[in-house]
Amino acid sequence: DQQVKQNSPSLSVQEGRISILNCDYTNSMFDYFLWYKKYPAEGPTFLISISSIKDKNEDGRFTVFLNKSAKHLSLHIVPSQPGDSAVYFCAASSNTDKLIFGTGTRLQVFP
């Protein structure tokens, strides 16, 4: 049972435009959400997180939106840059240390 889902395996966006990566979850006990970026053969790098008491968190070009009623979160990257090309994982946790990861979305930003 995949508790965290990223239904788009890939996304292609032109440089300068907005990239929107989506993530859905099923477990209503999740109350903390994170986005990680991963390059091939490297470990994930933490990007941004959001607590369930908020619906938006912004850090530079990255903004995460949380819709609890829909059990949906999204990561917006604007403007997108070629260096943003990577696989993006969303992750969720409840009141434990564990992170449950989605299957990832491969973002490609082209010139």
Q: Using CB under 8 A as the criterion, which residues of the chain lie in contact with another protein when the complex forms?
A: 32, 34, 36, 41-46, 49, 51, 89, 93, 97-104
Query: 10-14 and 100-101 as β-strands: parallel, antiparallel, unpaired?
Result: unpaired
Q: Which is nearer to another protein, 78 or 99 (CB)?
A: 99
The whole-angstrom separation of Cα 64 and Cα 55 is 8
Q: Which is nearer to another protein, 17 or 58 (CB)?
A: 58
3-class secondary structure, 106: strand
Q: How far is the CB of 6 from another protein (least distance, A)?
A: 9
Instruction: Confirm if 72 and 24 have CB atoms less than 8 A apart.
Output: yes
Q: How far is the CB of 13 from another protein (least distance, A)?
A: 20
Q: How far is the CB of 17 from another protein (least distance, A)?
A: 26
Q: Which is nearer to another protein, 97 or 111 (CB)?
A: 97
The whole-angstrom separation of Cα 96 and Cα 82 is 36
